[in-house]
C-alpha cells in the first residue's frame, strides 16, 4: 500500500558562501520550507526539454535524438501568510542588481522527512517576485526558480 503526504517533503535552499551578508545574518545560509504545518501547497520540479525525441522522414527512416540539457525550474507554492514569503521577497531583492557579487545562484534540494533526496537543482535564481494579492481569504503564492541543472533521484 502506498502512502503519501505533502507534509513529508521539505525544500531546502542553500545560499552560496559569498551571498549577501545582511540576508544571511537575518535568515541564515540555509532556508527550509515544508513539513507539517508549513502552509506549503506544492513543490514542482521540471526539466525544460525532452531527453529523447524521435524524428522520422518520408522514406520510413528515423533517428533518435538525445538532448542532455538539464535546465529547468523549481516552483514552490505557499500560502501568502507563510513565514517563507518574507524570506523569498528578501532573497529576490538581493538579486535585483546588475552587478551580482555572488559566485552563483542558490542550490535547492527536495527531500522527504527521512532525509532521502528526491531532486536537486543547481545555480538557481528566482524568476520574479510572486504576485501579491490581497482578498477575503489568504491566497497562494507561486515562487519559481530558474535552474541551471535539475536532477531527479530514485528513492528505490
Q: What is the pLDDT of residue 46?
A: 96
Whether 156 has a pLDDT exceeding 60, the answer reads no
Q: What is the pTM of this model?
A: 0.87
Nearest to 123 by CA among 150, 100, 152, 89: 150
Task: For 68-91, give the DSSP string.
Answer: ----EEEEEEEETTSTHHHHHHHH
Model confidence band, residue 18 (pLDDT cutoffs 50, 70, 90): confident
Q: What is the pLDDT of residue 50?
A: 95
Amino acid at each position: 500500500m502506498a502512502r503519501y503526504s505533502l507534509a513529508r517533503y521539505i525544500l531546502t535552499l542553500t545560499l552560496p558562501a559569498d551571498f549577501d551578508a545582511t540576508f544571511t545574518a537575518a535568515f541564515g545560509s540555509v532556508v527550509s520550507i515544508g513539513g507539517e504545518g508549513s502552509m506549503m501547497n506544492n513543490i514542482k520540479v521540471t526539466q525544460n526539454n525532452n531527453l529523447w525525441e524521435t524524428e522520422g522522414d518520408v522514406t520510413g527512416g528515423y533517428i533518435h535524438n538525445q538532448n542532455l540539457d538539464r535546465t529547468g525550474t523549481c516552483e514552490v507554492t505557499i500560502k501568502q501568510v507563510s513565514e517563507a514569503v518574507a524570506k523569498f521577497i528578501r532573497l529576490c531583492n538581493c538579486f535585483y542588481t546588475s552587478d551580482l557579487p555572488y559566485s552563483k545562484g542558490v542550490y535547492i534540494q527536495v527531500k522527504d522527512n527521512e532525509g532521502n533526496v528526491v531532486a536537486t537543482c543547481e545555480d538557481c535564481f528566482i524568476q520574479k517576485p510572486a504576485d501579491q494579492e490581497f482578498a477575503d481569504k489568504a491566497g497562494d503564492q507561486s515562487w519559481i526558480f530558474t535552474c541551471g541543472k535539475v536532477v531527479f533521484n530514485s528513492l528505490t
